[in-house]
């Protein structure tokens, strides 16, 4: 039986047991442990029970060989002078990083070909986890260093994940707090020639804010899946929020559609999160035609704005809890502490980082900067590779 068929036939909570048996038969593996990253991206935690009392333990995400593999997304084969070796493989699905597979091997089986083959096994495991996660709580329990509150549970069940990649783009998100909810909205959808995104500022902590964001997210998805354009999506969501809350809880949101073949962007800015672009060595905020937040008034009319990406562009969206609506007076701040200055500095300090690592670095820089620290921040980073990458993709060129 192949590894793939073993994973397909395993019960959702027994994926690792089935994988261990298959790896032992095909690779003479002596052990196999799965480390999943926690919700706060702070530690890698083993799916219990580990194979033996001396099995792999949880540890910080930024140390050790497992942490290195998680951060770099490159497999690592460790060999010493003894009879054993260990392979560390990233478990990632379409850019969404789940954790690391750790496989013990006899030293004579620890070859580059084996490491490459095990890398494909880790990828298959990631896809199997995606499916199994719908039918068991085992993997979600593993990812918690402490209990989620109810609002946090709602947010993690509604948001699509932390990452998505395609030939033409990399897309990664990070938000804090991770174990509660700031009421943010985040979603994306990839089609043949189009990437659609929505990012919305948080409306506050707790269950009431999570209910607002859940209603908004499902209204957007409902409109998008019905084939409505960005204006239609904004209008339907505006009506849903106003109908439920009568203008008491408007949602500042940004809806985008990226043409994967040409890099053109259509935007509906509904009192939005801020949008920043790095082109070459220049990082600047992109000024948009700011319109009313969703759900503020009945029957608001929205319009689109057009932008264009160039290959190599990085676009970063920054959404904070309770950002001011159009016309609202922000609290006074010293020039060096204004939100735009702090974001610009955070982006500049993260300029050398990968797309996957940039959102976390920006969020933590913003929350650690002295001054008016936001209670909740969501950052989404989009790296645009361009239409040429789309056309030359190995699978025929479509994301």
CATH number at residue 170: 3.60.40.10
Q: Are 137 and 9 in the same domain? A: yes
Residue 399 lies in a domain: no
- How many separate domains does the chain show? 2
Does 193 fall in a domain? yes
Q: Are 327 and 278 part of one and the same domain?
A: yes
The answer on 220 and 96 residing in a single domain is no
Q: Look at residue 37 and tell me if it is in a domain.
A: yes
Give the bridge partners for 90, in sequence order: 100
Shared domain check, 175 and 122: no
- pLDDT at position 387, please? 76
Asked if residue 188 and residue 125 are part of one domain, the reply reads no
Burial of 335: CB neighbours in 10 Å, binned 0-12, 13-18, 19+: exposed
135 plus 248 within the same structural domain: no
Q: What are phi and psi of 31, to 5 degrees?
A: -160, 160
Please tell me the predicted confidence (pLDDT) of residue 65: 95
Do residues 260 and 309 both lie within one domain?
A: yes
SS3 173: strand
Q: 66, 37 in Cβ contact below 8 A?
A: no
Kindly write down the DSSP assignment for every residue of 256-286, as one continuous string: EEEETTT-EEEEEEESPPEEEEEETTEEEEP
Residue with tokens 């106003």: 242
260 shares its domain with 293: yes
Containing structural domain, residue 200:
150-391
Q: What is the pLDDT of residue 340?
A: 85
Indicate the residue among 90, 107, 142 that finishes a domain.
142
Of 142, 167, 188, which closes a domain? 142
pLDDT at 268: 98
- pLDDT value of residue 52: 44
Say if residue 351 is in the same domain as residue 234.
yes
Tens-digit pLDDT string for the chain (399 aa): 799 999 999 999 999 999 999 999 999 999 999 999 999 999 999 998 544 444 567 788 988 999 999 999 999 999 887 899 999 999 999 999 999 999 999 999 999 999 999 999 999 999 999 999 999 999 999 999 999 999 999 999 999 999 999 999 999 999 999 999 889 999 999 998 999 999 999 888 899 999 999 999 999 999 999 999 999 999 999 999 999 999 999 999 999 999 999 999 999 999 989 999 999 989 999 999 999 999 999 989 999 999 999 999 999 999 987 544 333 344 444 444 567 888 888 898 888 999 999 999 999 888 887 666 778 999 999 999 997 665 655 554 333
**Which of 102, 123, 142 is the last residue before a domain boundary?**
142
What span, in angstroms and rounded, lies between the C-alpha atoms of 232 and 237?
Answer: 8
Contacts 24+ apart (CB under 8 A), 146-151: 146/179, 147/179, 148/39, 148/179, 148/180, 149/179, 149/180, 149/181, 150/207, 150/210, 151/180, 151/181, 151/183, 151/205, 151/206, 151/207, 151/209, 151/210
Helix (H) or strand (E) holding 220, with range, is helix 206-225
């Amino acid at each position: 039986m192949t590894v793939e068929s073993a994973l397909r036939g395993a019960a959702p909570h027994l994926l690792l047991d089935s994988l261990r048996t298959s790896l032992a038969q095909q690779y003479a593996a002596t052990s196999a442990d799965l480390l999943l990253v926690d919700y706060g991206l702070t530690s890698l935690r083993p799916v219990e029970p580990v194979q033996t009392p001396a099995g792999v333990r949880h540890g910080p995400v930024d140390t050790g060989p497992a942490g290195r593999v998680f951060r770099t997304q490159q497999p690592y084969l460790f060999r010493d002078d003894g009879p054993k070796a260990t392979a560390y493989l990233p478990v990632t699905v379409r850019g969404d990083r789940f954790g690391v597979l750790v496989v013990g091997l006899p030293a004579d089986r620890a070859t580059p070909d084996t490491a490459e083959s095990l890398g494909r096994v880790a990828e298959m495991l990631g896809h199997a986890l995606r499916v199994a996660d719908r039918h068991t709580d085992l993997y979600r329990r593993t990812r918690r260093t402490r209990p989620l509150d109810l609002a946090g549970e709602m947010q993690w069940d509604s948001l699509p994940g932390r990452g998505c990649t395609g030939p033409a783009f990399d897309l990664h998100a990070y938000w804090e707090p991770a174990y509660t909810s700031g009421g943010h909205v985040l979603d994306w959808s990839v089609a043949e020639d189009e990437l659609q995104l929505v990012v919305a500022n948080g409306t506050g902590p707790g269950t009431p804010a999570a209910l607002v964001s859940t209603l908004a997210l499902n209204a957007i998805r409902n409109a998008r899946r019905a084939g409505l354009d960005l204006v239609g999506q904004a209008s339907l969501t505006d009506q849903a929020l106003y109908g439920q809350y009568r203008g008491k809880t408007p949602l500042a949101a940004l809806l985008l559609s990226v043409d994967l073949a040409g890099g053109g962007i259509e935007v509906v800015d509904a009192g939005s999160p801020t949008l920043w672009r790095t082109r070459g060595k220049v990082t600047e905020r992109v000024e948009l035609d700011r319109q009313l937040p969703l759900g503020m008034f009945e029957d608001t009319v929205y319009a689109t704005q057009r932008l264009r990406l160039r290959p190599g562009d990085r676009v970063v969206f920054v959404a904070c809890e309770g950002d001011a609506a159009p016309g609202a007076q922000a609290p006074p701040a010293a020039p060096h502490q204004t939100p735009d200055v702090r974001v610009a500095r955070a982006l500049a300090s993260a300029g050398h980082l990968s797309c996957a690592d940039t959102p976390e670095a920006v969020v933590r820089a913003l929350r650690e900067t002295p001054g008016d620290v936001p209670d909740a921040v969501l950052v989404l980073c989009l790296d645009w590779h361009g239409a040429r990458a789309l056309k030359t993709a190995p699978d025929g060129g479509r994301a």
